[in-house]
Structure 1
Amino acid sequence: MPDCGVMQMPSRFRSDRRLTVRMGLTLFLLGLLYVAFVAALIALLRSWVLVVVIAALALGAQYWFSDRIALFAMRGRVVEPAEYPALHGVVDRLSALGGLPKPVVAVSELDMPNAFATGRTPDHAVVCVTSGLLRRLEPAELEGVLAHELSHVAHKDVAVMTVASFLGVIAGLIVRFAFYSQLFGGRRDQNTAVVLAGVMGVSAAVYALSFLLIRALSRYRELAADRAAALLTGRPSVLASALTKVSGDIARIPTRDLRTAQAFNAFYFTPALGSDPGLSRFFSTHPRLEERLEQLGRISAELGEPTAPGGA
């Protein structure tokens, strides 16, 4: 879409050098892993191009249509200012304060309190909140959550995470391709079986390594989004209040009711985990609640914010 000569204001979301360095380092390490992966495939296979093409198409679809895919998956719908004037008012104010184009605003009719942002660029972004979140949060708390989500947009987190996940997508597809090829490919000689086993082993190892790298980056970007939101609004204690309230309410939802939502944890403001997340916390897309609250407490002290949220 042409910009019609309109000059976009620079984002006032504070740039995060540590986040930029970590994103760059993660992409560099994934790039090295990708080179090693391709080299191993060349040594093991003669025709792997089709799998890479399919993975590239999947990546392209995820990158270009991530906003529509996410809205469909979360049962979100775009809402107009007349339907949700207060919600649009907060997004208008934060977008102007942050120097960002106003994103599309959507609401999901899920009772689970949460929010997410998606879109490949600030000009193609969507911010969605659940009806459960709107019912539970005070206006100031909602502003803190939306500032967190807009910081993801400002830092282009969705685009970076999509590119970073490309290697894992390829590796996962190759594992499935090799597995089903071995199951349904008919009789094979011993050499073919060895090659397939090698492909599956290399792909599984690459998938595991890329999974861990991406999860580590994802946890840090959530801390960066909390920090940017707290500095933009100047009210870290209100964001901490929203985090505590949302996490506590999610923990009281039966685990069986969270299973569908857990597939989309990487999108959410806070993950859909039950009261006893167990070992999954070590592979989580988000840092521990205590870690997020400690960071917000430090920022609150630095800003000289009163300990009580005030109008929250």
Structure 2
Amino acid sequence: MFGNWMKTSILMAGIVALFGAVGAMIGGQQGMLLALVFGGATNLWAYWFSDKMVLKMYNARQVDATNSPYLYNMVRELAQRADLPMPKVYIIDEAQPNAFATGRNPDNAAVAATTGIMRMLSERELRGVMAHELAHVKNRDILISTMSATVAGAISMLAQFGMFFGGRGDNRPHPAFQILVMILAPMAAMIIQMAISRTREFGADRGGAEISGDPEALAAALAKIEAYAKGIPMQTAEAHPETAQMMIMNPLSGGGLRGLFSTHPSTAERIARLRAMVRGA
């Protein structure tokens, strides 16, 4: 667990440094300061409002012990095991099996599951998935992923701004260099953002297995989701690919780039790590 946090800290430092460098290229120290102020403002906005936006985007409906006792009581039991406040619980009417957590902190968290995942998984497997989502809440991964995504987007905006307005007089970079920065800076930011996302998924797998006490259940759930999710498009996720990193499994169809540009680690590696926990490795 410490290793995951160390990797995340290094990656976050890298993306912030890249942000400052792009700002400096646009307007020296003033440009870097403006870039960091802009990044801080957008992060603050995302911190407070991203959960409401995402839930509305997916037309998620809140449920309770009366209208969805199966899911609600499962989440409540797992939250108690994790020593977390009870999050809000939502159901999304989507055939694709998937789930996510959102919210700015454990006191203002929400977990959501699709109707597809509730139909497909056994109770034991679904319990493993919801424990994974609660691990995201406990680790404050929602905040971390929101910050990294926001900074990456800001870098892209700054790079494009610098293409047309970067520098003044003798400080203006060569046009060829500006074009290079406009292309490479957003790409580098995306690579770092995806690396942060993959690191946090490994951490949530381990944390979820510890909360549920059943690593094999989560491993089995991931294998099932991997087998079915790719063949069942998730319309909202296709329209808003920036939300893909929130899901327990990448919901996007159409084989995107793997490796450096993947929002999630390979399912095979995730399953292998969980089964190593079963063996006590």
Aligned to 1:279: 257
Aligned residue in 2 for 1:23? 8
- Relative to structure 1, the CA distance from residue 264 to residue 155 in structure 2 (aligned partners, 3 Å threshold; closer, same or farther) is same
1:34 is aligned, of 12, 19, 33, to 19
Q: 131-140 or 280-289, which moves further after superposition?
A: 280-289
Aligned counterpart in structure 1 of residue 267 of structure 2, from 289, 292, 307: 289
CA-based RMSD of the aligned residues comes to 3.0
Q: Does the alignment pair 1:97 with 2:81? A: yes
How many residues align structurally? Answer: 280
Q: Secondary structure at the match of 1:127?
A: strand
Aligned residues of 2:19 and 2:36 also touching (Cα < 8 A): no
Q: Distance in 2 between matches of 1:147 and 1:290?
A: 19
Cα distance, 1:229–1:104 mapped onto 2, change above 3 Å? same
Query: What are structure 1's unaligned runs of at least 5 residues?
Result: 1-15, 183-189, 304-312
Alpha-carbon separation, structure 2, partners of 1:35 and 1:284 = 25
Structure number, greater radius of gyration: 1
Does the 8 Å contact 1:77/1:106 carry over to 2?
yes
Secondary structure at 1:128 match in 2: strand
User: Could you give the per-residue CA deviations for residues 293-312 of structure 1, whole angstroms, max 9, x where no partner exists?
Assistant: 11111111118xxxxxxxxx
Q: Please give the per-residue CA displacement for 1:228-275, whole angstroms capped at 9, x wherever unaligned.
A: 11122221111111111111111222698973364421010111244x
Identity %: 29
C-alpha distance in structure 2 between counterparts of 1:80 and 1:257, whole Å: 24
Per the alignment, residue 225 of structure 1 pairs with: 204
SS in structure 1 opposite 2:101?
A: strand
- Kindly tell me: are residues 152 and 141 of structure 1, through their superposed partners in 2, closer, same or farther at Cα, counting changes over 3 Å? same
Match of residue 109 from structure 1: 93
- List aligned pairs for 1:1-312, cutoff 5 A: 16-43=1-28, 55-177=39-161, 198-253=177-232, 259-260=238-239, 262-274=241-253, 277=255, 279-302=257-280
1:178 touches 1:196 (CA, 8 Å); kept in 2?
no
Q: State the alpha-carbon separation in 2 of the partners of residues 86 and 210 from structure 1.
A: 41
CA contact (8 A) 2:237 2:244 kept: no
1:182-230 alpha-carbon deviations (Å, 9 max, x no partner): 9xxxxxxx99996676555434432221211121121121111111111
Cα pair distance change 1:215/1:153, threshold 3 Å:
same
Is contact 1:174-1:200 (8 Å) kept? Answer: no
Q: In structure 2, how many angstroms separate the alpha carbons of the residues matched to 1:198 and 1:46?
A: 20
More helix by share: 2
Equivalent-residue separation in structure 2 for 1:25 and 1:192 (angstroms): 31
Contact kept, 8 Å, 1:108 with 1:129, in 2: the verdict is: yes
Relative to the length of structure 2, the TM-score reads 0.87
Q: Which amino acid aligns with 2:69?
A: P
One-letter amino acid of the structure 1 residue matched with residue 99 of structure 2:
A
Partner SS for 2:85: coil
Letter in structure 1 aligned against 2:52: R
- Taking structure 1 as the reference length, the TM-score comes to 0.79
Residues 150-185 of structure 1, C-alpha deviations (whole Å, 9 max, x = no match): 000100111122223343222222244456889xxx
Q: Structure 2: 5+ residue runs without aligned partners? A: none
**Matched residue type, 2:144:** V
